[in-house]
Every structure is written in C-alpha cells, then in structure tokens.
Amino acid sequence: MNRKVLIVEDDKKLAELVRLYLERDGYRVVVTHDGRAGLDAARHGHPDLIILDLMLPGVNGLDLCRTVRAECDIPIIMLTAKSTEDDKLAGLDLGADDYIAKPFSPREVVARVRAVLRRSPDGKESEPSRITVGDVEIDLGAHTVRLRDQIVSLTPKEFKMITVMAKQPGRAFTRLELLEDVFGPDYEGLERTVDVHVMNLRKKIETDPARPTYVQTVYGVGYRFGGETNHVE
C-alpha cells in the first residue's frame, strides 16, 4: 500500500505544490492548513509521515510536534521559513526527524520524505524484489529483465527507466520526470533523450515496437508502463 503523508501548512499554494510532487512519487497525501486540524489528522488519519510548518494558526508547529511526539513515533519533517540554528535545534530537540528551510525545491522535499521513511523503524517502503508485467519480469535484486523467460540485455539507464515506470503501472510520467528519475535532477540534457531510450527499450521488449504493449505513449504527457502487474516481495 502507498504510504500516507500528512502536510500541515497554512500556505495553501505551497501545500498544493508539495502535494502534487508527493502524489507524482506515489504517496497518498492529506493536507490541513492549521495546527488544530493537523493534530486531529495526525491522531485519527494514521499518516506514515508528517510535513509540518513551524508557523501555524491555532496550534503552532512546535507545540504540535511536541504533542504528536508524546503520543506516537510518526516521523516528522519540519518545513519552515525560520532557518536560524536555534529554530532548527528547537524542532529537532522536540523530536522532528528532519528540517527543511524555505525556500526549497519540491524535489528536495520528496527526497527527504523517502530518506526519513527508510530510516524509520517500521518505515520500510514497500519495495518489491521482483515485478512481473505481462511477459516481462524485472528482478530488482539481480538487476535483470526477462521476456518470456529469456534475459533481455539492457543498459543501466534502460533498466532504471523500465523499473521506474513498472513500479507504478498505468501512471503517466512526463519526460522531465523520467529524465530526473533516470539521470538525476542535476542532469542538463534534453528531454528528448528520454525518447531515444524509450525507442531502444521498445526494440528490446516489444513484439511490435510500432504498437507497444508495455512502454506506451501518453500523447501530450509522456509515457506509461501498461499491462497486468504482480509484485512479489
């Protein structure tokens, strides 16, 4: 099941931006805009992680963090414009797991969420060891792809691309998302680089590359991975 993230942030535009990036990464997201609603959502919504603004109406972020931490061990990331060392230490002393100062990159928030969830005691993200999509089997541990039980020779970038999409079958990825996921956020190449890798990938796994079953084009958006999927832990 996808992990649930609770965002408690009174800046609605900022909260919406972070929500969109997290949902693109596969998380379920709940948003509240004041401390009291955030505390209620933390107590009754069973989130896996909380992104918490420091300056909130109703109940401020430090008090909310103190209350939540006294009741449970939900990971908390502080998200705030107050970036002095004292402010950071105050949040961490109350039990926050990480601290991000505004302004920030939404991609950084997503990366921090992944890292904090990986570190949490019960926060092992549901990462399959093997993904089966139709006749294609991806073994993440062995770093291999089989098509009808035959090993397919893929480059590291092709393997990364098919894995990124196959983990969320049916989801449309933009070229920019695939570029960042496969090559890293600092890569300065053209988005059309993705098209070249998709073309090569289709030649290797599609019966008819001109009419792909697996790596499908979503016109005006990018690509998605189709087929029936079974994740084996």
184 conformational bin, left if phi > 0, alpha if psi -120 to 50, beta if neither: left
Measured between alpha carbons, how far is residue 119 from residues 8, 55, 74, 75, 97 in Å?
21, 26, 12, 9, 9
* pLDDT given at position 30: 95
**pTM score above 0.85:** no
Distance, in Å, from the CA atom of 143 to the CA atom of 130, rounded to the nearest integer, reads 10
In this prediction, residue 149 has a pLDDT band, given cuts at 50, 70 and 90, of confident
What would the mean pLDDT of 100-114 be, rounded to a whole number?
Answer: 87
Q: What would the pLDDT profile of 51-104 be if each residue is shown by its tens digit?
A: 999 888 888 888 898 898 888 888 999 887 765 666 667 767 777 888 888 888
For residue 186, the model assigns a pLDDT of 60
pLDDT at 55: 85
CA–CA distance, 29 with 21 (Å, rounded to integer): 10
Per-residue pLDDT, 85: 61
pLDDT at 199: 94
Q: What is the pLDDT of residue 192?
A: 82
Q: What angle do CA 210, 25, 82 make, to 5 degrees?
A: 145
Q: Which residue has the tokens 């960042």?
A: 180
Could you tell me which of 24, 94, 21 has the C-alpha nearest to residue 52? 94
pLDDT at residue number 178: 87
Produce one character per residue of 170-184: b if its CB has 16 or more CB atoms within 10 Å, e if not.
Answer: ebbbbbebbbebbbe
**Is cis: bond before 47, omega within 30 of 0?**
no
Q: Tell me, what's the pLDDT at 221? A: 86
Q: 203 falls in which pLDDT band (50, 70, 90)?
A: very high
User: How would you classify the pairing of strands 222-225 and 215-218?
Assistant: antiparallel
Is residue 232 very low, low, confident or very high in pLDDT (cuts 50, 70, 90)? very low
The residue ranking higher by pLDDT, 33 or 89, is 33
Give pLDDT tens digits for 153-201: 999 889 989 988 888 788 888 888 888 888 776 666 677 888 999 999 9
| Residue 233: per-residue pLDDT | 40
What are the pLDDT digits (tens) for 6-25? 999 999 999 999 999 999 88
3-state secondary structure the chain: CCCEEEEECCCHHHHHHHHHHHHHCCCEEEEECCHHHHHHHHHHCCCCEEEEECCCCCCCHHHHHHHHHHHCCCCEEEEECCCCHHHHHHHHHCCCCEEEECCCCHHHHHHHHHHHHHHCCCCCCCCCCEEEECCEEEECCCCEEEECCEEECCCHHHHHHHHHHHCCCCCCEEHHHHHHHHHCCCCCCCCHHHHHHHHHHHHHHCCCCCCCCCEEEECCCEEEECCCEEEEC
Burial grade of 125 (CB within 10 A; 0-12, 13-18, 19 or more): middle
Walk me through the domains of the chain, giving residue ranges and CATH numbers. Answer: 4-119 (3.40.50.2300), 130-232 (1.10.10.10)
